Amino acid sequence: MKGWKLLMTRALVLTFVLAFAGLDLVAQDNPLDPPGGGGGDNSGGGGDNSGGGNPLQPPGEDPSNPLQPPVQEKPKEVLRRGTKEEVDAIEAKFKNKEKGAECKRLKLEAIAEAVAIDDVRMVKMLSIVSDPDKQKDKDILKAGEEAMKKKVAHLEGLYRNESEEDRIAAVELALSVEDPKMLRLFGRARKDMSAKIQAIAKKGALAFVQGLYKSKDYKTRMDAVMEAQEMFDDPAMAKIVDGAARDPHEKVSELAIRFLAAKKRPGFCSVLNSAAAQALGRKKVDLAISYIRGMGDSGDPAAVGMVCKFIKSIIKFDKADPVEVKINAACFDALGRLKFKDSPKKIMSYWVQVIDASSKEDSAAKTEEGKQVAAKYCNACAGGMSELCANLPNCDKTDKLGEGQYLKDIYDNWKRWYDANEKRLPLK
């Protein structure tokens, strides 16, 4: 019993000792805190990083990320106009009459000095030495390319300045630089608040794109067409795209034609008409069909007559030319897309020719291939009528007109429907 009481007494003493020790620990500084870090209120070196803080944190940086480098603003580009004497001296140095290593040394010095001056003559000089077609010395070419990169970056920065003088200088100097970045600069400058800058940028962009389109490489000409499309509001740029629609390379012409067709420019069907004829002449049947369908999407009433001119004989079924069959079917589809009063009249007139030829002994299809051609024409005419009715009011009862045992049954269904609804169709 005495042993038990002694044990209880020791336990109580130990509890009190630990309690007082805990209170003492709370009052002391945390040994893991930096010197002066303090306790609960974090005074003397807390959240504002004043008077202490993290000894590894450099002053003035974000205390939440000690590894983050200090944020530095990009230095502002400064307009650096040189005097006539300075420019003359650099040009003279570049055109020196020395020989060998001395001549090259002077040229390299001239290139380095030209970068530091904002002058049209200096920019033109850099354009020459950075052009592989004009500069054959590899060392000078490399120096010229590096110098031109710096000049381009400088002009981009100069245009970002608030000063109108700086921005004018940037776009004026950019006129002599053949670099895609300068074309983007012109694109921004065309929307500048300054009318003078807009005029310079417009001139520069046009000259740049015209230069691209003169290339013998069709891919470069495609780039020119795409750039001209971005600035299509400029009549001069629109003229480039119009001309590209007749480009000898089909990829360039197709790029321009598809863009112009989407624009639905008045009178554009004549361009599509010519392009389709040229494509057929080059035996590019699918491309010609694409242009014919583009005429169908043009919304131009003149397209009805143009499309019909591509329709060849539709009463020859046996041994029919497969190309003519494809073109004829595409034309019926295009007529259906042209929602004008003449469109259904043309479709029905061609369709009746097919039906009449199919019913006569001397012209009816004798072979299986011929019967398929006749069926294709009838289906194409029916498809054209369905296309014409798409999204038009009073055309909601055409879904069962395609039913019938014979080709003539489908034609008769559509003929009755058309005769009953012709005057009510909202066609132009």
Q: How far apart are CA 91 and CA 408, in angstroms?
A: 85
pLDDT at 399: 67
Mean pLDDT, residues 177-183: 86
| Inter-residue contact 38 to 45 (CB < 8 Å) | yes
Scored b (16 or more CB within 10 A) or e, 387-407 reads: bbbeeeeebeebeebeeeeeb
Reported confidence tier of residue 74, pLDDT bands at 50, 70, 90: low
Give me the pLDDT at residue 199, please: 92
Q: How confident is the model at residue 290 (pLDDT cuts 50, 70, 90)?
A: confident
Rounded to an integer, the average pLDDT of 356-371 is 88
Going by pLDDT thresholds of 50, 70 and 90, the confidence category of residue 387 is confident
* Alpha-carbon gap, residue 382 to 363, rounded angstroms: 21
More confident residue, 162 or 53: 162
pLDDT tens per residue, range 232-289: 888 899 899 988 888 888 889 888 888 887 777 667 788 888 888 888 888 889 888 9
Does the pLDDT at position 57 exceed 70? no
pLDDT of residue 73: 54
- Using 50, 70 and 90 to split pLDDT, how confident is the model at 158? very high
- Please say whether the beta carbons of 344 and 425 come within 8 A: yes
In percent, the amount of the chain with pLDDT more than 70 equals 79
Please provide the DSSP assignment of 12-74 as one string. Answer: HHHHHHHHHHHHHHHHSPPTTSPTT--STT-TTSSTT--SSS-TTSPTTS-TT-TTPPPP-PP
Domain borders along the chain are: 78-178, 268-428
Output the pLDDT for position 358.
Answer: 87
- pLDDT at 62 exceeding the cut of 80: no
**Rounded Cα gap, residues 137 and 12, in angstroms:** 96
* 165-178 residue pLDDT tens: 999 999 999 989 88
Q: Answer for the pair 279, 321: CB distance below 8 angstroms, yes or no.
A: no
Among 47-51, 88-92, 219-223, 277-281, the minimum mean pLDDT is found in 47-51
* Percent of the chain at pLDDT exceeding 90: 37
Question: In 189-239, where do the E strands start and end?
Answer: none
Report the interhelical angle of 120-129 vs 138-159 (nearest 10°).
Answer: 140
Please say if the pLDDT value at position 67 is more than 90: no
Q: Within its chain, how far is the Cα of 390 from the centroid?
A: 32
Give the model's pLDDT for residue 233. 85
pLDDT surpasses 50 at 18: no
Is 421 in contact with 398 (CB distance < 8 Å)?
A: no
Residue type, 243: G
Q: What is the pLDDT of residue 159?
A: 93
What does the pLDDT read at residue 268? Answer: 77
